[in-house]
Amino acid sequence: MIEVLSVWYRRHFSDPQAVILALMLIFGFAIIAIMGNVLAPVIAAVVISYVLEGVVSKLCKFKIPHLLSVSLVVVGFLVLLLILMLGLSPLIYKQLSQFIIEVPNMLSAGQNLLLSLPETYPFISEADIQDIVLQINSELASFGQLVVSKSLSSVVNLFTLLVYMVVVPLLVFFFLKDKVRILLWLSRFLPEQGGLATKVWKDVDIKIGSYIRGKLLEIVVVAIATFIPLKILGLQYAALLCLFVGLSVIIPYVGAVAVTIPVALLAYFQFGLGYEFLYIMLAFLIVQFLDGNLLVPILFSEAVDMHPAAIIIAVLVFGGLWGVWGVFFAIPLAALIQAVITAWPQPGTVAE
């Protein structure tokens, strides 16, 4: 057994550059796993910097000084974010409050529908329906306790939000302003023989930048494209639903299926199984179809070149490890692994 492991090690780790790359990956994942919560503002700033870097580069092409370009882009981003928050937050809050008030009526209607099933479908027993209703009530009670506990910690969350509002913009400014200097400083801590790591980084850097910019654009486009038909068709809570639909694209494949359920339920409780329900579901499914078959290929043709099964597995694994950030970065992390496997020296070869 030891001999087999020894042969495997010599075959795949005989190249010093491969060893360096493996150690860098292990160290990076360990840092994120141990200090992920502390580094959350840094990660958020890195994501925003990737999004804004393209705009800074375009301004620099017009002979605008780099420092002025960075300042204009950061200020413009903050102003746009403030406008969106002031414009959308009251509407979202209003619809969320109305939705919470309507939840008991919806639950009552849903329980009545379940209790009527044995009359229509004799093979469904009333005992089974009662068990389901009791289970739903139990889950709702647990959810209510969770909401109360979260509301009690709202002061801490507000303080954290204020810290983010100050720290993240400052980090974004310095990341955009001194990106080259920061990368040169980090390179001082790397071994001189880092050709394989440099090759992987260049490949992944391009893919991560394209993916983050494309994903944020997809969120905005899908949210707007969902809001317009739902609002025209008169569905309540259209703004709230479009927010969830937009955020659902962060989770490939699974998010689209999961967000269909609340859309269908709200449409059913408002209109029943009539033509309005069919029109709403048809419009929603058309948006989802165009997103998956037109928008995604255009935005991610170069950034994402992986099998759907690999993407779903990456979402499950990294989401389980790092929560929301793991879900958001699941595809870039999977692209990193793919780039490492592609660039890894094959037995009998030496990396350049």
Q: Give me the number of domains the chain comprises.
A: 1
pTM of the model: 0.68
The pLDDT of 28-44, averaged and rounded, is 74
- Rounded CA-CA distance 256/226 in Å is 12
Q: Read off the pLDDT band of 228 (50, 70, 90).
A: very high
Min mean pLDDT across 4-18, 22-36, 111-125, 309-323 is at: 4-18
108 domain-assigned: no
- Rounded CA-CA distance 347/352 in Å is 14
295 domain-assigned: yes
CA 326 to chain centre: 8
- Rounded CA-CA distance 134/130 in Å is 6
347 domain-assigned: yes
In percent, the amount of the chain with pLDDT more than 70 equals 68
155 domain-assigned: no
333 domain-assigned: yes
Q: Is 293 helix (H, G, I), strand (E, B) or coil?
A: helix
The whole-chain average pLDDT of the chain stands at: 75
Residue 45: Cβ within 10 Å count: 22
121 domain-assigned: no
249 domain-assigned: yes
User: What pLDDT, on the 0 to 100 scale, is given for residue 229?
Assistant: 92
Domain hosting residue 326, numbered range: 195-352
Q: Read off the pLDDT band of 350 (50, 70, 90).
A: very low
102 domain-assigned: no
Q: In sequence order, which ranges of the chain are alpha helices (DSSP H)? A: 2-13, 16-35, 40-61, 66-115, 117-120, 126-152, 154-177, 179-187, 195-232, 238-248, 254-271, 275-290, 296-300, 308-328, 330-343
